Amino acid sequence: MGKYYSLRIPEPCHEDWNQMTPSVKGRHCSSCDKTVIDFTIMSDYQIKDFLKMNQGQKLCGHIKKSQLDLIHIKIPVQALSTYRLGHRSFLLALLIVMGTSLMSCKDDYGNKVKIDQVEVVDSLGQSIDDIPITGGLHRPPMDPSSCKSAIDSTQQQPLEDIIPVVGKLPIPPPPPIVGEIIEVQGGIGWDIPEIPEVPFAIVEKVPQFPETPFKLSEEESRKYFQSKINEHVDRHFNTAVCLNLEGRQKITTQFSINEKGGKIVDVKVRAPQDQLEKETRRVFALLPDFIPGKQNGEVTTVIYSLPIIFEIK
């Protein structure tokens, strides 16, 4: 059988989604101290791509029940991720056409039947008519004559000098592939690849000055950091370097506090004069090494933006 992904939740998490703290990737669960991914805003294709990128990892997520009931067409992953030629392209195209046409089938009561899953089994060496179609819904037996065939509706008279092909086209089997199913236990919980740099406004644990008091809440730590930065600039910035400037002046700055030692790196300054830019870089160079910030329990580089505003009289 081809390699595919299947998602099921035998024991959903009991934590309340509405009580979790909003974050960049979803919401933060204080019970298990993990980020819960919001799958409700993703399409079926985005969810499948996300599962493929994070294969073998554990995660927590928020998903609608209706998303678990979507149609699943199980096709070997290698057939989708590699360059396809010949019979493989023909098989995939035929499978999609058959799945689409079968959606219009009716049962004995005249109701349209929803095909939940299309699954290709064994080696695919069988003829086209032998491809089994299975679904999670139990319906009364369908009358084949009630199906609307997309192929019959598009048939045309053969053109002259063209020899019609009679019979079934045999499909050579692809190399055998071992199937693998990802089973999610509990409340969909896995580790997400970290963002290389996180803005100060949304990082879970902000960087800290070496002398930061203990037992501060996260919001208190954030305000303490900002006040210490402003105090440092007020104490060391020399406005006497300004030449021929009057009135209110603004310097836009941004720097990063890296995860390796909490050092100031990647300093960016936009100032009215070169002298002001040099003075700003000098003041930032006097800052101490910080305690690095953290995201999802791991140290990370944090981006901090600081506008410097002063008035020359």
Decide if pLDDT at 84 tops 50. no
34 in a structural domain: no
Q: What is the rounded CA–CA span in Å between residue 257 and residue 244?
A: 34
Q: What is the rounded CA–CA span in Å between residue 190 and residue 32?
A: 11
12, 72, 182, 224 from 63: Cα distances, Å:
10, 16, 16, 38
Q: 13-22, 53-62, 227-236: which range is least confident on average?
A: 53-62
Domain that holds residue 101: 77-154
Point out the domain boundary residue: 126, 154, 182. Answer: 154
95 in a structural domain: yes
Point out the domain boundary residue: 124, 154, 184. Answer: 154
CATH number for 234:
3.30.1150
Same domain, 301 and 249: yes
Tell me what pLDDT residue 150 has: 44
Task: Please write the tens of the pLDDT for every residue from 265-274.
Answer: 999 999 999 9
Amino acid at site 310: F
- The stretch 106-129 carries a mean pLDDT of 48
227 in a structural domain: yes
Same domain, 304 and 207: yes
Same domain, 223 and 135: no
114 in a structural domain: yes
Alpha carbon distance, N-terminus to C-terminus of the chain:
79
**Distant-in-sequence, close-in-space partners of 102: CB < 8 Å, separation ≥ 6:** 115, 133, 147
Contact 280, 264 (CB under 8 A): no
Count of structural domains within the chain: 2
Tell me what pLDDT residue 62 has: 78
165 in a structural domain: no
Task: Please write the tens of the pLDDT for every residue from 32-73.
Answer: 778 888 878 777 777 777 777 777 777 788 777 766 655 454
SS3 167: coil
Top mean pLDDT of 50-54, 100-104, 234-238 is at 234-238
- Report the chain's mean pLDDT, rounded to a whole number: 72
Q: What is the rounded CA–CA span in Å between residue 164 and residue 279?
A: 83
Same domain, 302 and 201: yes
126 in a structural domain: yes
9, 29, 259 from 289: Cα distances, Å:
46, 31, 11
133 in a structural domain: yes
Q: What is the pTM of this model?
A: 0.39
295 in a structural domain: yes
Same domain, 202 and 96: no
Produce one character per residue of 106-120: b if its CB has 16 or more CB atoms within 10 Å, e if not. eeeeeeebebebbbb
Contact 257, 293 (CB under 8 A): yes
Same domain, 203 and 147: no
Amino acid at site 208: Q
Q: What is the rounded CA–CA span in Å between residue 242 and residue 275?
A: 7
Same domain, 299 and 214: yes
